[in-house]
Amino acid sequence: MEEQLVKIQKLCGKDMDTVRATLQGYEGNAGKAYFEAVSYLLPEEMQFTKRQRNADDIYNSVLNYLYGILYAKIKKMAYKCRLDPYIGIMHVDSYNKPTFVYDFIEGQRIFCEELAFEICSHSEITWDDVEERTPQGLRFSDAAKKRLISEFYAALNETCYFKKKQVTVERRMYLEMLEVAQKIGGMDMEIPAAG
């Protein structure tokens, strides 16, 4: 991962498409190493071979479910901050896809990854919670989904620091998005006090 970071820091170029593709390649290499380490640290029954969207393992399925909740939350925040969720910065604009949400969520994914790791490390979701295997991945029982949603919102309400002030994780995400709105839009929005 450190090797990829060095490459990213040295990257320069004038062609945005080439730079974007190169960055995504470095990101993919770092992500592969990261998820290999995550799998290694999980209990044996929770380990997985690779990160995948249409998952056939518990960790990836839990992570995908949590990402889904976070995507909806981030999209709602974008509207609240008067940002168009469909305009991309790093991700290429794509018809009917919220590319800004994809961009912003990159810095927030660790929230779901840590939560999924915690849930799977403690076997809070197991194979007993799987109702069905589908081509799109594992389908959890309603009771398991409720537990995941509850864990998600409990973690969002935990406290962290934003600019030396103690706030909830959700509030930090919102304040970070307000800063993005100011920077890319030249908006005269006031960022509320972090409290």
The pLDDT score that the predictor gives to residue 9 is 81
The pLDDT score that the predictor gives to residue 95 is 57
SS3 173: helix
Distance CA(21)–CA(25), nearest Å, equals 6
The pLDDT score that the predictor gives to residue 195 is 47
Q: Which of 50, 35, 59 is nearest to 124 (CA)?
A: 59
Dihedral angle of Cα 77, 81, 85, 87, to the nearest 10 degrees: -150
The number of residues making up the chain comes to 195
Token pair 């006090």: residue: 193
Is the pTM higher than 0.85? The answer reads no
pLDDT of the chain, 195 residues: tens digit per residue: 788 778 878 878 777 778 778 877 887 888 899 999 999 999 999 999 999 988 899 999 999 999 999 999 999 999 898 888 877 666 555 556 778 888 899 889 999 999 999 999 999 999 999 999 988 889 999 999 999 999 999 999 999 999 999 999 999 999 999 998 888 775 555 555 544
Q: Are 162 and 147 in contact (CB under 8 A)?
A: no
Q: Count of alpha carbons within 13 Å of 56, Cβ hemisphere only?
A: 4
- Quick one: angle between helices 142-156 and 169-185, nearest 10? 70
Q: Which residues pair with 160 in a beta bridge?
A: 167
Q: Are 83 and 182 in contact (CB under 8 A)?
A: no
SS3 130: strand
